[in-house]
Structure 1
Amino acid sequence: MNSFICAIGTATPPHKIAQMQTADFMATALQMNAEETRKLKALYRVTGIAQRYTVLPDYATTNGEFTFFPNTPDLEPFPTVKQRMGIYQHEALPLSVAAIEDCFTTLEEFDRSSITHLITVSCTGMYAPGLDIDLIQALDLPTTTQRTQINFMGCYAAFNALKVADAFCQANTQARVLVVCTELCTIHFQKYRENDHLVSNAIFGDGSAAVLVQAKPMANQINVALAAFHCELIPAGKKEMAWHIANHGFEMTLSSYVPDLIQKGIKNLTQKLLQHLGIDLTTINLYAIHPGGRKILESIEKALDLQPEHNCFAYEILRDYGNMSSATVLFVLKSLLSTLTPAHHNQPVLSFAFGPGLTLESMLLKVHYV
């Protein structure tokens, strides 16, 4: 028995920053000279990102009148974890609510009191009582709603949330599970000049995605069945992608070797996933791949002999939003679903996401129209 994704909603903060405007901010913040600035802007240009969204207006400030960072040339004293978590607690709720409302508006006369489970996902902030309880109160959901939080798992966390939602639906055919992935990556800007940090600052943005999962599909609309999952670890990449809490925010390690590691492991991962249902890769035309970065998408295409057109939705989301950690693959899936028609019924959708570990997550979906 399959569970079904019946609706996806997304939301972004109000501050849309052009990629090269962010590069200017970073060059100034890092106090770079002309040659260093030239190299930094070259890095920003090749990301495939045109713009990103952030809860912090500071990235668009040209006169140095910051509201979060100190108004000093070197941004000292640099914001602490406490200050960053204060921003997270203030901004995560309205952004999450916006994504959930977007999800609900796609459903006719949806009764939100029918929600039985709430799963919140984030690797960029936490507090307690947490976002889950704030959402129950803000949305007037039943106080009996069962709550689960999935924290600090990185870009692949949406897959784990969907696995948990699927388990709830398998156990209870009346379950209606709301999954909310909210990431405020830009509050964790670090001033280090190492390549890992320069790349992280160049690709991550803020966003939220909400998904309704239930045991039964919605009538007269496109649903997607959760058909199979498969996860692999590549221990050799443990140090190549990591996420640590430091005194001045969360610090990302993102090595240039990650695309190569993914390229080496993705084919075996895909074969094991498809074996579950006896499906051949050549029969799949629909893909929802997490755009961890342009090189990661290109590495997957090379390993699986795909064309860039197969990844068109991933490139679109990367261009318009950047990498929003766990929420990103749901943005990609929503974009793909908006193009589907009843004629796509029963067609498979292959999805991937990646994160610390090095973890490779895969998911096979099937388009379902009632």
Structure 2
Amino acid sequence: MFNLTFSRLLALFLGAVIFFATPLTGCNSGTSLSASLIPYAERTRLADDAISQAIAAFNKGDQAKGDSYLHRAVILLTGPLSSDFNDEGFIQVAQRIAALGRPNDAIRLLEPLTQDKRVAGDPRLWAALAEAAKKAANTQRADEAEARAQQEADKIVAGFGSIRPKTAKAQKQAILATYVGQYYSEFAKKDYVKALQAYRQAHRLMPDDLHIKNNLGYMLADQGSGPKDFEDAVKLTREVVEKEPSHPVFLDSFGWALYKRDRKEERDLEGARRRLREAVDLAPDIPECRYHLAVVYEKLDLLPNALREARRAVLLKPEYNEAEQLVGRLKPLVAAQPTPAPSSSPAPKSGGTVGTSPSPTVPPAPTGK
């Protein structure tokens, strides 16, 4: 009657452990380890479900129940770079619920962390708080948080180059450098030159870490300025995919790097399409994967397919400007064609994904990603 794979059964079991084991006071190493055993695509799906249930509970006035679901999402999205307490899951969940119209709940989730010395030096924490405060029309708190985010980023950058690779302090400094890279590539005042500098620093300190390698590879592909950058992007992301061939974000980065090669004659559009299609099939609710696939479909002149994927990216992420622009460009072109190709994959749920930009736990989540 039921055909559940071992990984699916494991995910369900660990999800239950995560849901019941720990109060909403932080992510300890036990629950974070349990979450890391669940495949990435399954973790994001479970986190999406938990966030949806949290918002439903909040809308019914049941804050305690909503908080328990938020906690589940936080644990699921807290990743593997360090066994120490970290704020990765909190930031991703806060961004998601703020985008879904609950900025005050996002603020409530993040504010206690600003007093926690273990994570108060993370510029992304303050930047996420600033974003939520803006959405809640709390201008004063938004300005304070933005200023603090820049201050913490400056402190980390000041320490670049002072630590040798693969030493006891290298891992912590690499994680901080990754935080700075995300801050400059994903939050308010984007500075891709500084983001690349930070990702290079993280890779210098921990050259074998797959997530750090993926972050740098994706950023080189997305914001590179010459042939060497694009070739390095392909090399780095290929190495990551060879180690973890079923990670959707890693596949997305590799596919994007293949597409972005500087010399047109060296672009592997079919290879890019194949890798990006695999990423979307594994994680259909990641908007950046949909957008990247749409761009490649457009380049291959598969315009109906491109429009379908771009529309799904916008459905998943309503403020996705690049995807919206692509939809606007493709609509008249597809309308002029006699018979658009039919959709061959299920449509995602509206708003049903979390951020996936490059991070210490996942790919996406770079600019535009």
- When normalised by structure 2's length, the TM-score is 0.31
Give the structure with the larger helix fraction: 2
- Greater RCO, 1 or 2 (C-alpha within 8 Å, sep 6+): 1
